[in-house]
């Protein structure tokens, strides 16, 4: 890798490329060998599987995986070997956590601490996902961000992990209940039907949680202290100045005509018409089978029968032209003037 | 937000682009005629000047052109180069006469090809619309009429491939059918919808039949009960001014059906051949045709829709009468008065007039637009030159590109993608 980069940069220099980029590349390639000794040592440690001790040097296709349960990495073949037959304890000495194969994934960051922090931040951001517009004041929003950061660092540093996780879970549930009460209710009902009679109380309690969650978010603004503490127990967090969630209004059914309808003036459509030349068509199964409705024909025929009956062209057309005079007249005049040349009438000559 | 039937019609392209007052229609034809005449004269002047400069080559190319175009475009005879001042251009009336006669021929063509009447009717209206903005002197009606028919088969869901369509006609190739297509579409201003009165007539017939059976649907203006309407209908006189008759229900239905048949015939022939589509709306046209077929019945039907006391009624009736007059004034209108011989003589006279006009047209055709097929080909991207070959430089570049592409196909990453400006990156 490093040799290749050096070669390229060297080429650039040979070309006489005096551009700053090629120069800096060239410098880089020169400096690289001096630090290579330390680099190679780091490489050897990171390229050896801590479980089976095989190294990438011998097996260039080796892939490392990790499990977000304990963030210990191991090679792909070790994962296959150890976890193919179901959950097993982590093979790294002193860990002993139970891992599952499905949870293993490729490593994104070389530094596994970063990998773990990114995961934690992702999770917290998914649950604590408020925006500035959700708060009454900027101050409230900043307080909220402060809390979110505190939760994140608690998890990263392993302080109060249990309590923090529970709080996050409570908050997530309460948010879900608020956003989509139907879905939550349905899932709870399904629970009660599957479990026995004893769980009935649980269902009731959860229903209560839901109601209180609504109440707390609605009564958030005017009188905080008392209700905030109470809400704290139910929802995990209580944020000052959080606006009440207003569900979006239900969507109206789609109207392809945009609110317009046809109101015939001169006729009323009957359900059926009986004429000799129609009976054949009416009884023809090949018409009916395709979904053709005779009613469509009636409405179209009658609409065409009277559409434009009251439109007097000799009056309306001049009136329309007077109305749109001014620019339009000048426009057509210039067009006509242009057309009197070699051009065709009123339009370009295609040929 | 509610729409009436009239609002719907006002939104149609037929009303917006193809409806005219009689004066406007005449003015439009006049402008078209003047412009086309100017063009023809200018083209002749140019040709004459060219010929004066190089007499030998010009005459050679002249005869070559006559033989070269294998398709019948009326250009098989070499055009004598006349003094532009002497060119005898068609007048507006002569142009109209020609177009009318080609409308009739299109009608017969439709019958010959056994196309549905909608196809023929649309083709005729396309032809009439096209010749409002173009002159027969510029574009030959024979070619154009065949092309409008082809276009109409597409518009009216009766499509035939161009090759099949051309095979049904004599002296026609698919190329000659397709060549003027874009020209026509442009002349139609890209409006393809022609609103015909046929379906409207059927709708009216449906209502009349139900009315005759005593179950008329109520309308806002009408206070009579269905039974009263039926009675009044049975008492209608046979002709205007005659004493009232007393028809049985069955006879009344027969009368209505008879009127429908007559009106339908009128709509399918005469109405197509006149300017009715430009001057009136489809519902006015069918009612006018119905008026010609059975006046008392139509007047009665109209009075059930619009009260005779309202100012609308006489206004509408006057338009209907004017339209009926326009329809009945056509030569083809089979009125009872004329005898067979007279009809024959009239047809003969008409034929003579048209053939004289065709001769005259040959003398004043725009020489630039004789071979539409060639013009169309020149328009295309891979324009062929006189020998039917691609231009040499173009062909050479194509070949080089092709070779390069073949060579690069073996590359691991495939051939290079062409850059936006068409050159290799
Ligand atoms: Zn391993
Ligand atoms: Zn572990």
B105 in any annotated domain = yes
CATH number of A47-107: 3.30.40.10
B284 in any annotated domain = yes
Tokens, residue B135: 């002159």
Domain shared by B21 and B160, yes or no: yes
Q: Which ligand is nearest to the CA of A103?
A: 2
Cβ–Cβ of B281/A339 closer than 8 Å? no
Residue of B nearest to A338 (CA): B35
| Every domain range in chain A assigned CATH 3.30.40.10 | 47-107
Strand A88-89 with B2-3, pairing: unpaired
pLDDT at B259 over 80: yes
What average pLDDT does the structure give for chain A? 74
Cβ–Cβ of A263/B134 closer than 8 Å? no
Domain shared by B122 and B223, yes or no: no
B112 in any annotated domain = yes
Q: Which of A343, A183, A320 is nearest to B133 (CA)?
A: A343
B362 in any annotated domain = no
Residue of A nearest to B372 (CA): A351
pLDDT, residue A347, reads: 52
pTM above 0.80, yes or no: no
B315 to chain A, any CB pair closer than 8 A? The answer is yes
Instruction: Please give the residue range of the domain that contains residue B23.
Output: 13-187
What residues of chain A lie within 8 A of the CB of B279, using their CB? 313-314
pLDDT, residue A2, reads: 41
Residue of B nearest to A318 (CA): B21
Q: For residue A171, give Cα distances in angstroms to A150, A174, A184, B38, B76.
A: 15, 5, 14, 85, 91
Number of A–B residue contacts, CB under 8 Å: 169
pLDDT, residue A58, reads: 86
Domain shared by B125 and B183, yes or no: yes
* Number of structural domains found in chain B: 3
What residues of chain B lie within 8 A of the CB of A311, using their CB? 6, 9-10, 15, 281
Domain shared by B174 and B204, yes or no: no
| Closest approach of A322 to chain B, Cα-based (Å) | 14
Backbone angles phi, psi at A298, to 5 degrees: -60, -50
Domain shared by B128 and B92, yes or no: yes
B358 in any annotated domain = no
Q: Which of B415, B41, B156, B319 is nearest to A312 (CA)?
A: B319
B103 in any annotated domain = yes
A135-173 pLDDT tens trace: 999 999 999 999 999 999 999 998 889 999 999 999 998
pLDDT, residue B390, reads: 60
Helix (H) or strand (E) holding A105: strand A105-106
| Closest approach of A312 to chain B, Cα-based (Å) | 7
pLDDT at A104 over 90: yes
Which of B285 and A327 is assigned the larger pLDDT? B285
Cβ–Cβ of B287/A309 closer than 8 Å? yes
Which of B189 and A208 is assigned the larger pLDDT? B189
Domain shared by B218 and B86, yes or no: no
A167-206 pLDDT tens trace: 999 999 888 888 877 765 555 554 444 444 444 444 444 4
Domain shared by B39 and B169, yes or no: yes
Domain shared by B152 and B216, yes or no: no
Closest by Cβ to A303, choosing from B8, B186, B372: B8
A205-249 pLDDT tens trace: 444 444 444 444 444 444 444 555 566 667 778 888 888 888 888
Cβ–Cβ of B316/A263 closer than 8 Å? no
Which of B161 and B392 is assigned the larger pLDDT? B161
Domain shared by B114 and B219, yes or no: no
Rounded Cα distance between B299 and B310, Å, is: 14
Which of B241 and B151 is assigned the larger pLDDT? B151
For an interface test with B, which of A275, A299, A309, A338 has the most B Cβ atoms less than 10 Å from its Cβ? A309
pLDDT, residue A22, reads: 53
Q: Cα(A39) to centroid of ligand 1, in Å?
A: 22
Cβ–Cβ of A310/B312 closer than 8 Å? yes
B345 in any annotated domain = no
pLDDT, residue B395, reads: 74
Closest by Cβ to B21, choosing from A264, A301, A318: A318
Lowest mean pLDDT, pick from B5-14, B172-181, B329-338: B329-338
pLDDT, residue B58, reads: 43
Bridge partners of A99, per DSSP, are A88
Domain shared by B29 and B61, yes or no: yes
Q: Are B74 and B365 in contact (CB under 8 A)?
A: yes
Mean pLDDT throughout B404-425? Answer: 66
Rounded Cα distance between A350 and B375, Å, is: 9
B338-364 pLDDT tens trace: 677 887 888 888 889 889 988 888 888
CATH of the domain at B125: 1.10.472.10
Mean pLDDT throughout A47-69? Answer: 87
Lowest mean pLDDT, pick from A26-35, A104-113, B138-147, B414-423: A26-35
ipTM, two decimals, is 0.79
A317-344 pLDDT tens trace: 888 888 776 554 444 444 444 444 434 4
pLDDT, residue B80, reads: 52
Q: Cα(A101) to centroid of ligand 2, in Å?
A: 13
Of B137, B153, B187, the residue at which a domain comes to its end is: B187
What residues of chain A lie within 8 A of the CB of B186, using their CB? 347-348, 350
Rounded Cα distance between A51 and A95, Å, is: 13
pLDDT, residue B345, reads: 84
What residues of chain B lie within 8 A of the CB of A266, using their CB? 5, 219, 305-306
B246 in any annotated domain = yes
Residue of B nearest to A311 (CA): B6
Q: What is the DSSP string of A163-223?
A: HHHHHHHHHHHHHHHHH-HHHHHHHHHHHHHHS-GGGHHHHHHHHHHHHHHHHHHHTTTTS
Interface of B with A in 320-339 (CB under 8 A): none
Which of A31 and A115 is assigned the larger pLDDT? A115
Cβ–Cβ of A314/B282 closer than 8 Å? no
Rounded Cα distance between B81 and B367, Å, is: 10
B379 to chain A, any CB pair closer than 8 A? The answer is yes
| Closest approach of B279 to chain A, Cα-based (Å) | 6
Rounded Cα distance between A258 and A245, Å, is: 30
Domain shared by B164 and B282, yes or no: no
Domain shared by B34 and B126, yes or no: yes
Rounded Cα distance between B89 and B342, Å, is: 32
């Amino acid at each position: 890798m490093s040799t290749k980069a050096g070669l390229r940069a060297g080429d650039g220099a040979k070309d006489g490329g005096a551009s700053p980029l090629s120069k800096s590349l060239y410098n880089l390639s020169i400096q690289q060998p001096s630090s290579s000794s330390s680099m190679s040592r780091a490489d050897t440690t990171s390229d050896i599987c801590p479980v089976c001790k095989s190294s990438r040097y011998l097996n260039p296709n080796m892939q490392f995986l990790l499990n977000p349960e304990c963030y210990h990495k191991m090679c792909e073949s070790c994962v296959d070997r150890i976890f193919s037959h179901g959950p097993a304890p982590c093979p790294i000495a002193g860990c002993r956590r139970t891992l599952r194969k499905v949870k293993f994934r490729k490593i994104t960051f070389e530094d596994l601490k970063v990998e773990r922090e990114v995961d934690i931040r992702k999770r917290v951001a998914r649950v604590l996902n408020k925006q500035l517009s959700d708060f009454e004041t900027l101050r409230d929003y900043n307080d909220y961000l402060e809390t979110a950061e505190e939760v994140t660092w608690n998890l990263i540093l392993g302080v109060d992990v249990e309590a923090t996780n529970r709080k996050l879970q409570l908050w997530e549930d309460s948010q879900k209940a608020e956003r989509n009460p139907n879905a939550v209710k349905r899932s709870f009902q399904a629970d009660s039907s599957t479990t026995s009679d004893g769980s009935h109380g649980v269902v009731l309690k959860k229903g209560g949680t839901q109601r209180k969650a609504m109440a707390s978010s609605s009564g958030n603004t005017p009188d905080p202290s008392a209700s905030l503490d109470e809400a704290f127990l139910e929802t995990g967090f209580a944020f000052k100045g959080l606006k009440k969630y207003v569900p979006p209004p239900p969507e109206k059914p789609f109207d392809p005509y945009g609110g317009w309808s046809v109101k015939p003036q001169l006729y009323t459509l009957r359900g059926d018409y009986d004429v000799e030349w129609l009976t054949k068509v009416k009884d023809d199964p090949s018409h009916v089978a395709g979904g053709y409705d005779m009613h469509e024909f009636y409405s179209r025929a009658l609409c065409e029968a009277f559409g434009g009956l009251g439109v007097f062209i000799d009056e309306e057309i001049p009136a329309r032209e007077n109305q749109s005079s001014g620019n339009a007249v000048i426009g057509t005049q210039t067009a006509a003037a242009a057309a009197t040349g070699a051009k065709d009438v009123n339009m370009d000559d295609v040929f | 937000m509610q729409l009436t039937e009239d609002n719907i019609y006002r939104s149609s392209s037929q009303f917006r682009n193809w409806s005219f007052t009689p004066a406007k229609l005449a003015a439009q034809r006049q402008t078209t005629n003047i412009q086309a005449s100017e063009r023809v004269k200018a083209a002749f002047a140019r040709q004459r000047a060219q010929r004066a400069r190089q007499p030998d080559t010009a005459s050679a190319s002249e005869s070559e052109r006559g033989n070269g175009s294998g398709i019948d475009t009326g250009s098989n005879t070499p055009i004598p180069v006349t003094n532009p001042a002497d060119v005898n251009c068609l007048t507006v009336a002569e142009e109209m006469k020609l177009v009318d006669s080609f409308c009739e021929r299109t009608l017969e063509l439709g019958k010959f090809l056994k196309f549905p009447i909608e196809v023929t009717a649309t083709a005729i209206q396309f032809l009439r619309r096209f010749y409002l903005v173009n002159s027969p002197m510029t574009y030959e009606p024979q070619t154009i009429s065949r092309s409008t028919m082809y276009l109409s088969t597409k518009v009216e869901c009766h499509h035939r491939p161009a090759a099949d369509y051309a095979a049904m006609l004599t002296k026609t190739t698919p190329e000659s059918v397709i060549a003027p297509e874009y020209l026509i579409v442009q002349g139609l201003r890209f409006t393809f919808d022609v609103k015909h009165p046929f379906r409207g007539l059927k709708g009216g017939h449906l209502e009349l039949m139900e009315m005759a059976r005593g179950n008329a649907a109520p309308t806002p203006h009408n206070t009579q009960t269905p039974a009263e309407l039926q009675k009044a209908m049975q008492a209608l006189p046979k002709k205007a001014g005659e004493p009232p008759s007393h028809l049985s229900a069955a006879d009344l239905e027969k009368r209505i059906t008879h009127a429908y048949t007559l009106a339908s015939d009128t709509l399918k022939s005469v109405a197509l051949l006149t300017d009715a589509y430009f001057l009136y709306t489809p519902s006015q046209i069918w009612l006018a045709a119905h008026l010609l077929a059975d006046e008392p019945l139509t007047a009665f039907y109209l009075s059930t829709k619009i009260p005779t006391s309202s100012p609308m009624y006489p206004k509408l009736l006057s338009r209907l009468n004017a339209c009926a007059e326009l329809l009945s004034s056509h030569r083809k209108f089979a009125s009872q008065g004329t005898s067979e011989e007279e009809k024959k003589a009239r047809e003969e006279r008409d034929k003579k007039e048209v053939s004289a006009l065709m001769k005259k047209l040959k003398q004043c055709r725009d020489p630039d637009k004789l071979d539409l097929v060639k013009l169309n080909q020149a328009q295309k991207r891979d324009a062929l030159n006189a020998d039917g070959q691609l231009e040499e430089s173009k062909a050479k570049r194509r070949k080089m590109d092709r070779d390069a592409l073949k060579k690069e196909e073996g590359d691991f990453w495939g051939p290079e993608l062409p850059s936006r400006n068409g050159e290799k990156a």
